[in-house]
């Protein structure tokens, strides 16, 4: 998902307010890690699929925490759902989920797939990501881990693991900053009038 999670165009932009600082983000990611392990009785058979762009570093962080907690190495896949979106023109062919370590396609058949993204908004990105996974085979289950759930769903999609629920107005946007892509960690909200 893009840095901004609102479709507001033009107008006045207010000063952003920080809703998660670096320490709070780390706690949220650690909590998500332990919830994934608890629900799935360990790390066996799990594949973390980071939705590009900001979902991928979050998936890597969750995998690192799982390794620290369980000593298990969990596969992390890069998932670009653009080719499966129903709200944008199809400008590219669907790409397979690729292992970030080897660059090879990941076998999703009978695996527990945990989609990881930064912000859950309308649900369209997640729907496209589920289509991308199912397009590669039949997983045992698909679960969803989100750093921030801002509401305003257009599809019946909910996250299994949520770092923070942030009710928002239509004229607000959520900006997720990550050290890997932006040089620092923070989640900010601001009004766009």
- For the chain, which residues make up each domain, given as ranges? 24-170
CATH 3.40.50.2020 corresponds to the domain 24-170 = yes
Higher pLDDT, 85 or 152: 152
Q: Any idea which of 32-36, 84-88, 129-133, 144-148 has the lowest mean pLDDT? A: 84-88
State how far the Cα of 108 lies from the Cα of 22, in Å rounded to an integer: 32
Split at pLDDT 50, 70, 90, the class of 90 is low
Beta bridge partners of 175: 4, 188
> Is residue 31 predicted with pLDDT exceeding 80?
yes
State how far the Cα of 75 lies from the Cα of 83, in Å rounded to an integer: 23
Specify the pLDDT at position 93. Answer: 75
Residue of 186, 177, 178, 174 whose CA lies nearest to 150: 174
Residue of 183, 179, 170 whose CA lies nearest to 8: 170
Note the pTM of the prediction, 2 decimals: 0.90
State how far the Cα of 49 lies from the Cα of 93, in Å rounded to an integer: 19
State how far the Cα of 30 lies from the Cα of 51, in Å rounded to an integer: 19
Residue of 26, 136, 129, 24 whose CA lies nearest to 83: 129
């Amino acid at each position: 998902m893009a840095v901004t999670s609102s479709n507001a165009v033009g107008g006045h932009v207010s000063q952003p307010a920080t809703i998660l600082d670096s320490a709070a983000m780390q706690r949220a990611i650690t909590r998500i890690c332990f919830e994934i392990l608890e629900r799935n009785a360990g790390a066996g058979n799990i594949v973390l699929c980071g939705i590009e762009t900001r979902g991928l570093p979050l998936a890597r962080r969750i995998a690192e925490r799982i390794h620290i907690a369980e000593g298990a190495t969990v596969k992390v896949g890069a998932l670009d759902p653009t080719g499966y979106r129903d709200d944008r023109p199809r400008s590219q062919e669907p790409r397979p989920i690729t292992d970030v370590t080897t660059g090879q396609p990941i076998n999703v058949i009978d695996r527990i797939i945990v989609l990881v993204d930064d912000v859950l908004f309308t649900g369209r990105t997640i729907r496209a990501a589920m289509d991308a996974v199912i397009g590669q085979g039949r997983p045992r289950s698909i679960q969803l881990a989100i750093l921030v759930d801002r509401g305003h769903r257009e599809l019946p999609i909910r996250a299994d693991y949520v770092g923070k629920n942030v009710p928002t107005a239509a004229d607000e946007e959520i900006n997720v900053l990550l050290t890997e892509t932006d040089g620092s960690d923070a989640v900010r909200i601001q009004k766009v009038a």
